[in-house]
A and B are shown apart, each in its own frame.
Chain A
């Protein structure tokens, strides 16, 4: 122990279990090990003088397990809109400790060689204790023609397969992927979109697209594929995950499938919980995202479904794009928006909606919903340990101030791109401190490294 190393006390915060808030002081020793979890820690019991302890007042703040993002685009391979470094920094500021990186890089991550290259690059970046899990495409080059070598990739410890950015349109091919991934424990994640990107419109097909005269994306592009997939996976022991669902109909379909015992999980993005199609009235390409922002009715259904547990997971679909790309005309600008840094605030603001919130107790159920959807459930699905603070383990926790209003500016953004839909928009909630593997990575919203 160096002389300067001090123990650390998070004083006055709350932890949240299934039913109740619990007032909890967290005492962390200089090696980053949690040594006490009590409602009021008595330092003398640990033979500690107050000069040997750095105290963080976290009164009325929530202490939660780090978030897990099952869906982000860290680019890096063949693309300059993000690096593993910048993506990880954005993630950690957003309270994430574990990420699943999507395979739609250039070239796509579709074989062992490129997966290993990505892992090597991550190993060489300052990972700040964030675990980055590499996923693989379902089909070679994500072209929807031939399935990847699942066996080799599984042997290389890949557990997550998706053609994200495109759906697997061909029925026979999808069935083949299902058969090959049965009983492997791997996740088959579908980007629900029954048409090719070239055939896609610009935004949700509906009132706003009609007013603007912009080509619309029919909700059936999502719904029809979801119905087909549920038919294909019925009675099969494959772990199917529906990515970024965006419309009420998908919620209904998944609810019924779950009731019928189909092995299905699903996710929603923070932006589909907070924003609707009317954002496009500005014609700002930063609001162009796939699946598109939908109607206010869809937004309401998604919020309800999340609270009711029909939707398992909030995942960011963090999709950086350089300004030169997002400054193209909206018809040709790429789909996607940043999400990692603002995920909690956006999701929490959406769940709070217009409700008045003055104390942390006023938003207990919303916080519970979010901790489940951003940490506990993705851990379960991905098989990641953690999620419960325990004595004698390395500190893995985040401290959230749910009541603080924050306004993101371009300067706050850690990504290599600035295509955030939340710039200059006040949101509730901020991530104050982040501890990963016993190290304090974020202190008072700032990265320590």
Chain B
């Protein structure tokens, strides 16, 4: 598999499945295995040029579980603030012997540019509104797990091989969401149907780059069909115009509430990539209920990132798997 991990669309369904299987193996394996002890001479740089707590910590834990040596810096601590270009920073890191770079950037292009400038693996931890591929892999694992836990048997889906039968709604601020784009690309690879629901000004006006079964500003059009509802954070910081929908209306029309779930399939499950705004995008009692996969998403994000990092750094997980 290629060593860079930038966009979901760069990978085949087969490659993505392999990553999921690898992540699932890592989740169920004893990480005290000696193979993980041999990795401390591999150095991973975590460069976060945009605020992030969850993703950064998740990557750091993933790297440490793999036994990697992690060095991390964010923009206020690095020389980027002093005007050093990203190019100089990554060339310097490479010269210092870093083996791979994880990059979160507020620019869509930085990750592609970095991949061009240095020949060590580059992993995308979120680039502007374009992609968040490791989040998508984590969510993929979470959905596969729910299928294996027989959560969708009543909906006629009993094995991850039947992923294509899933009807998945992504709700809210689609237009500004890198998570929506990466998930949409992933669902396309596995043939699942994607529904986009949200206020008109937050829905794409043009082709978003993956097939969409339905795009609607009325949840009533599809709530009864959905197996999975993925709520997104409203990215106030990315809104160029003042947000036109008032919060009370938003919760009423697009919030994941008990009254919405009353119209959904009894088997329907709810996800949110976080950080969620409780009682706006999703009600507290839903977050904490049995239909919520939110904490599983957080947990699985670590194994998704371990799978991606170990692939990028050629760590022989398959060797461990065979033993």
- A386 in contact (CB, < 8 A): no
> B107 to A329, Cβ gap below 8 A?
yes
Q: In the complex, which residues 177-225 of chain B have their Cβ closer than 8 Å to any Cβ of chain A?
A: 178, 181, 204-209
Q: Which of chain A's residues have a CB closer than 8 A to the CB of B105?
A: 329
* Cα–Cα, bound, A283→B114 (Å): 11
**A329 CB to nearest B CB, Å:** 3
* Cα–Cα, bound, A84→B86 (Å): 31
Q: Which of chain A's residues have a CB closer than 8 A to the CB of B51?
A: none
Q: Which of chain A's residues have a CB closer than 8 A to the CB of B110?
A: 329
- B289 in contact (CB, < 8 A): no
Q: Which of chain A's residues have a CB closer than 8 A to the CB of B130?
A: 212-214, 283
How extensive is the interface on chain A, given as a class? 20 to 34
- A20 in contact (CB, < 8 A): no
* Cα–Cα, bound, A330→B113 (Å): 9
| A201-214 interface code vs B (CB 8 A; 1 in, 0 out) | 00001110111111
| A281-314 interface code vs B (CB 8 A; 1 in, 0 out) | 0111100000000000000000000000000000
* Cα–Cα, bound, A332→B204 (Å): 23
Q: In the complex, which residues 144-161 of chain B have their Cβ closer than 8 Å to any Cβ of chain A?
A: none
Q: Which of chain B's residues have a CB closer than 8 A to the CB of A331?
A: 107-109, 128
| Additional A-B contacts beyond A282-B112, A327-B113 (9; CB < 8 A) | A207-B206, A213-B128, A214-B108, A215-B240, A283-B108, A283-B109, A328-B85, A329-B105, A331-B128
Q: Which of chain B's residues have a CB closer than 8 A to the CB of A214?
A: 108, 128-130
* Chain A residue with the shortest CB-CB distance to B112: A283
* Cα–Cα, bound, A284→B208 (Å): 20
* Chain B residue with the shortest CB-CB distance to A216: B206
> B108 to A330, Cβ gap below 8 A?
yes
- Report which residue of B106, B108, B129 has the largest number of chain A beta carbons within 10 angstroms of its beta carbon: B108
Q: Which of chain A's residues have a CB closer than 8 A to the CB of B272?
A: none
Q: Which of chain B's residues have a CB closer than 8 A to the CB of A210?
A: 175, 204-209
> B207 to A207, Cβ gap below 8 A?
yes
**A198 CB to nearest B CB, Å:** 12
- B176 in contact (CB, < 8 A): yes
> B181 to A213, Cβ gap below 8 A?
yes
- B87 in contact (CB, < 8 A): yes
Chain B contributes a number of interface residues (CB within 8 A of A) equal to 25
What are 28 pairs between A and B in contact, CB < 8 Å?
Answer: A206-B206, A207-B209, A210-B204, A210-B205, A210-B208, A210-B209, A211-B207, A212-B108, A212-B129, A213-B108, A213-B128, A213-B176, A213-B178, A214-B108, A214-B129, A214-B130, A215-B240, A283-B112, A283-B130, A284-B112, A327-B85, A329-B86, A329-B105, A329-B107, A329-B109, A330-B108, A330-B109, A331-B108
* Cα–Cα, bound, A282→B130 (Å): 12
Q: Which of chain A's residues have a CB closer than 8 A to the CB of B208?
A: 210-211
Q: Which of chain B's residues have a CB closer than 8 A to the CB of A329?
A: 86, 105-110, 113
Q: Which of chain A's residues have a CB closer than 8 A to the CB of B209?
A: 207, 210-212
Q: Which of chain A's residues have a CB closer than 8 A to the CB of B204?
A: 210
- A1 in contact (CB, < 8 A): no
* Cα–Cα, bound, A331→B49 (Å): 14
**B12 CB to nearest A CB, Å:** 18
* Cα–Cα, bound, A205→B175 (Å): 13
Q: Which of chain A's residues have a CB closer than 8 A to the CB of B207?
A: 207, 210-211
Q: Which of chain A's residues have a CB closer than 8 A to the CB of B109?
A: 283-285, 329-331
**A339 CB to nearest B CB, Å:** 22
- A324 in contact (CB, < 8 A): yes
* Chain B residue with the shortest CB-CB distance to A327: B87
Task: Given the known inter-chain contacts A283-B108, A331-B128, please indicate yes or no for A211 contacting B85, CB distance below 8 A.
Answer: no
10 closest Cβ pairs, A-B complex? A213-B129, A329-B107, A211-B209, A330-B109, A283-B109, A207-B207, A210-B206, A283-B112, A207-B206, A213-B130
* Chain A residue with the shortest CB-CB distance to B113: A327
- Report which residue of A329, A330, A331 has the largest number of chain B beta carbons within 10 angstroms of its beta carbon: A329
- Report which residue of A205, A213, A285 has the largest number of chain B beta carbons within 10 angstroms of its beta carbon: A213
* Cα–Cα, bound, A215→B181 (Å): 15
Q: Which of chain B's residues have a CB closer than 8 A to the CB of A285?
A: 109, 113
| A390-428 interface code vs B (CB 8 A; 1 in, 0 out) | 000000000000000000000000000000000000000
> B206 to A209, Cβ gap below 8 A?
yes
Q: Which of chain A's residues have a CB closer than 8 A to the CB of B112?
A: 282-284
* Cα–Cα, bound, A133→B85 (Å): 37
* Cα–Cα, bound, A283→B127 (Å): 11
